Structures are given as structure tokens and as C-alpha cells.
Chains A and B, each alone.
Chain A
Amino acid sequence: MLADGARHQLDPRFIRVERIVGYLTTATLSIAGFVALALVAVFAPIQVVWLAVFAAAWLVMTIAFAWLAHRWPELEFRHAAYSVDIQVLEIRGGVLWRHVRKVPRSRVQHTDVAQSPLERRYGLATLVIHTAGTEHARVTLGGLAHQTALDIREHLLPREHLDAG
């Protein structure tokens, strides 16, 4: 039962995928910072004290980012939810700035089910809903099991009698 109006959580694998994305970002930033630090150490005539300060800052930043990359997806997961009933698709998200978006089914123009390489590896998908709106012309719901995304898409497809417009 999908269109029951009950609040569903995202697929727990969402946390793993988001963490991997976070780790990769952290690694990239950290390496970039390290390279910058090394270049400064080799080429710039600065005092050892300052170098130590910069190195400490780099270490603190790396640890903070890594911690955030590990912790944030959990928080995101806790506050994200969706529910589908016969009239409205509702999407909740955000940790500090939270939002609840309601997409009336009759306003769905078309839908996409998209998978990034990481999502594909973990069997997840992102549902993209296009409406005729301005700010919310494109509403996304990520972290769904691929089959669930397909099921919701199926449910949202315009019914025959709505096609007449």
C-alpha cells in the first residue's frame, strides 16, 4: 500500500549514499587544503609558528568536515519523509531550515526517475516531479528505493480523464 497517506521514511541506504558523497567531498577539500599548505611551506617565506597554526586549522577543518559528513545524513534522514494519498504528494525535508512541500496530483506535468552512479550501486533513485510552477517547477524526492520511486511515479501518472485539457 503506497497511496495510504501515511508518513513514510526514506530508504535507510540513503544515509550510506549521502555519507559516501560527504566523505568524497571532505577528502577533496582536505587534499586541496593540504596541497595549498605544502606549497606555502615550500615556497612562501613564513615563520614556522604560522605554518603550525595553518596546519592545525587544516586538521581541525578536516575533522569537522568528516564529522559533519558522517553525522549530517543521519539528521537529514530523521527529518525527511514523504506521504502519498489519492490527492497530494507531500515531501518533508531540511534539518535547520525545514520545509513541507505539497504537490497536488492534478498539477503533475511529468515525472522522471533519475539514478546517479552511486544511487544505482545501492539500488536507490531520485523522483523528479515537474509542475507548471515557477519556483517549484521541479520538485525532487531523493533517497527512495528504485522500485518505490517507480511505484510512486506510476501512481502520479495523469489519469485518462485529466488528459483532456
Chain B
Amino acid sequence: MLADRRLHPSAILFGAGKHIKSLALPLVLAVIGMGRGNDVWAYVFAAVLAFIVLHGLLQYATFRYQLGDGELVIRSGIVFRSERHVPYARIHNFDVSQHVIHRLFGVVEVRIQTGGGSEPEGVLRAIRTSDLDAMRERVRGQELPASAPAHRDVIAVPLRELVLAGLVELRGIALFAGGLGLVWELGLSRVSGPSELVRGLITWALGIDTLDPFRIAVAISALLVVIATLSVAWAIVRFYDFRVRFDGDSVQTVYGLLTRITTTIPLRRIQSVTVAEGPFHRSLGRVAVDIASAGGSGGQAEMERARLAPILPAAALPQLLHDVVPDLALDKLAWQPLAPRAGRRVFMRSVLIALPIAALSAIVVAWWWSFGILFALVALAAIHARAYMRHSRWAIDDDAFAIRRGWLWRRTTLVRRAKVQVVSLAESPFDRRHAMARLDVDTAGTSIAIPYLPYETAAQLHATIAVAAARTEFRW
């Protein structure tokens, strides 16, 4: 008889925490209402809190899990009892996260995904670290071949690299904008204190009455420093001590300063790999790598992809790809260009966007300036079309299908052909006029599109990829 296991009692706390997050708005309203001396709100507040605590207690009391021989069994539910059987062999993603409060109790949160749908199949809110080892043992026992190589770290991102990662991704802009919005919302801009200081600084720097170049320069550099600092802080908090290790035939990433996240993905469940590089990445000789594994994405595929490396020296990329998708011979891929006349279409498309912009600019500036603006935009469109054509490529061999798009921000996506689902050929009216077509190749987790292919090429690829996919069985 297998033992029923319970969660760690701290699960009550985490369960309540989750509810409080989702009920944040009514709670805030209640607190504000109480501040205005409204008694009704106090009762509402108490009732909601009591409900949350009771719910958490009941949830904890009714939750059991079992590490069976071939499957994990989860029983839960207060009114509607549910019993879920998750075969270990089906688990494609095994995420462990631990934030500060988790660490205090010596517990971790485990999310188990088996593919299909975006919700994880099992969430164990708090289990002891020792129980985690037992579980990991079971899950891995199903797929670990006898000759598997031992645990090895392949990437450990040093702090210096994280600083660079922060600077090239510049998430600080979003953080800064978000912070500004929050300050505005809370009406703090009217309160004295540090924000008053900031406002004073801004009015001094911008000096609405005198456009002093020195002050403008100071203001801009101050803004840049703030954004850079926020960006670096974001990268460090999120990716602190980022490690990638290969454990048997799965890849594991461990990262995070406050919340420590461990993601384990079996190599054979990787559907696609995306290498992204922006202009700053290139000047520093770095790239970022994402992987999509089956299922755990649902509708929002892009957002749910796992980071394989937030920043990586470009020179280390071939080795990493070789480790992650050893079955794909990427250095042997023959990259093909798009249809020769595609550049003209890319150019015309940009010009069509430029025309209304130039026309609208006539409202603001004198009409002869608008011609200048139009001229500049058309020149830009020409540069864009040329560069886009020079850098957009696709390639195919027996195992892989790949596309490279963009010129300032480049993305290279590699798809395992054995993972291809639906292949679609699309023709817009413009495509038909130029005898071109777009090919959409769909996999679990990513969908890649190759526009502006010569029609013949697209049709041939369409048939080849679909028939080859039909001949192979799909395994997550």
C-alpha cells in the first residue's frame, strides 16, 4: 500500500496568499472604505478574510498526493472530489520554484505539465525539499537510460554577464513607465517628499521657459541612468546565478534571486529553439536563447517559452545547440533566400505606411517639410527592404526546419521536423499577383511563418513537410 502524502502545512499560507492576490482589488477597496470610517467595509473585509482562511484550511485538509509506481496521483477538492492520475512518462515539464517565504519554511512549489492546455496538470503548493527529491527520482526514473551522462553544468552566467543582459534587454523602460504610471495612479505626485523632489528636478531640468541644452542633456542622461539601473536590477533579480545543466536526457535551468526557479525539460520534448539578437547583442557578441517545449504554452505560446540562456557569448552558441538538439546538424544547413522580387514588396509595404505619416505631418509642419519627411521615410524603407532581404533566410534538411528573420532584431527559429503539426500554405491577393506564398509551420509551442516564398518552392515544401510528418509518429 502506497502512503498518502500531504502538503507541508505552510501550503495554507501560500493558498491564502494566492487568493489575496486575486482579491486584491476588493480588499483595497475595503481598506479604503474602513479608512473613511465605513463600518460595512470592515465586516466585508473580515468576511472575505475568514472565507479565504477557511478555504485554505479545507483545501489543505483534503489534499493528498501519492507517488505510485508508474504515476502520480493527486486527490483534492472540498465539495467536488477529484482524483487525477498523471503517468510519470507523460510529464514533459517539471517546474520547481522557491521564493523567499518558501525558503523560510524549507519547502518548494512544484508544477507539473503533461502537454495540452496552458494550465499545469498538477500544482503542489508546498512540499518539503526531501519529498521533492523522492518525486524527482520517480519522474526521472522513467526516462533515464542506463548510460546517461552524469550531472554537468554547461552554463553558469556570471554577474558581469547579467549586467550586460540587463543593458541589452532594457526592460528598465517598461519598469520605469510602469512605476511612473503607478505613482500617477496613487496620486503620490501631489504628496510632498521624494516625489516632490523628482518633480522639482524635472521642472528644473526641462526648464519649460528656457530650453537650455545643458539642462536637457542632464535630464536625458539622468533618465538613461535610471533606466539602465532598473534594467540591470531586473536582470539580476530575475536571472541571478543562472545555471543550465544536463541531467541525464533532460535539461535543467535554475535561476532567480528572490524566487529560485528550477525548470526541467526532457530534451526529446523540445519542439523548437529560438536564438534572438538585437543590435546591442551583436555589438557585444552575445545572443539570447529560448526553447519551446510541448504543450505548456496553450494560447500564449511566446510568453510561456523557457529561457535557456538570458545571455550567451555567440561563440558558445554552437556547443549549446549541439547539447540541446543533438539530432539537428545545424552547421550543415543550407540557408536559402526569399523570392527575388520580395524586396520590392517589402519596400512598397513600408512606403504605404510612410505615405499617410507624411501626409499627417503636413498638419504639424509646413508642407515642404512634409516632402522632406516623405523622402527620408522612403529612403528608410529602401534600406529596410534591402537589409530585410539580406538577412531573411530559411533552410530545411531531414530533421530540421529553420527560419531567420529581421535585421536589427534578428530571430533564428529551429524546429524539429518530427514535431511539426499542421502545415499551411497561405496566399494573399498580393502573393497571387507575384506568384508567391507564405508557409506556416505549426508545432506545439511555436508557429513559424516564412513569407515571400516563390509559389513553387512553397508548394513543394508544403507537401514534403506534411508527408514526412505523417510518416513519423508524434511523441510529445
Contact = CB atoms under 8 A, between A and B. Distances in A.
Interface of A: 87-88, 94, 96-107, 109, 131-136, 139, 162, 165
B445 interface: yes
A140 B469 CA distance: 20
Contacts of A136: 421-422, 424, 440, 442, 447
Given A99-B427, A100-B462, A107 B447 contact: no
Interface of B: 115-116, 294-295, 297, 301, 420-429, 432, 440, 442-447, 462-463, 466-467, 469-476
Nearest to B444: A132
A106 B473 contact: yes
Q: Which of B301, B421, B425, B472 gathers the greatest number of chain A CB atoms within 10 Å?
A: B421
Nearest to A100: B425
A100 B426 CA distance: 6
A98 B301 CA distance: 25
Contacts, number: 102
18 contacts: A87-B471, A88-B466, A94-B426, A96-B429, A98-B426, A99-B426, A99-B427, A100-B425, A101-B423, A101-B425, A102-B422, A104-B421, A106-B470, A106-B471, A107-B420, A134-B445, A134-B447, A136-B422
A101 B422 contact: yes
B470 A133 contact: no
Contacts of B423: 101-102, 104
A96 B476 CA distance: 36
A139 B422 CA distance: 9
Given A99-B424, A100-B424, A165-B474, A133 B443 contact: yes
Contacts of A103: 421-422, 466
Contacts of A94: 426
Given A104-B470, A133-B444, A165 B421 contact: no
A157 to B, nearest CB: 15
A104 B420 CA distance: 9
Contacts of A87: 466-467, 470-471
Contacts of B294: 132
A134 B297 contact: yes
Those 3 A-B pairs whose CB atoms lie nearest each other, nearest first = A133-B421, A104-B470, A87-B470
B447 A97 contact: no
B466 A134 contact: no
A132 B466 CA distance: 15
Nearest to A135: B447
Nearest to A87: B470
B240 to A, nearest CB: 31
Given A107-B420, A136-B424, 18 more contacts: A98-B427, A99-B425, A99-B426, A100-B462, A101-B422, A101-B423, A101-B424, A103-B421, A103-B466, A106-B473, A107-B421, A131-B421, A132-B421, A134-B297, A136-B422, A136-B442, A139-B422, A165-B476
Contacts of B476: 132, 165
Contacts of B447: 133-136
Given A133-B442, A133-B447, A165-B475, A97 B429 contact: yes
Contacts of A165: 473-476
Q: Which of B115, B116, B294, B469 gathers the greatest number of chain A CB atoms within 10 Å?
A: B469
Nearest to B471: A87
A98 B427 CA distance: 5
B429 A104 contact: no
Given A87-B467, A107-B469, A134 B446 contact: yes
A96 B445 CA distance: 29
Contacts of B474: 106-107, 132, 165
Nearest to A92: B425
A125 B462 CA distance: 28
A107 B476 CA distance: 11
Q: Which of A94, A98, A107, A165 gathers the greatest number of chain B CB atoms within 10 Å?
A: A107
B469 A104 contact: yes
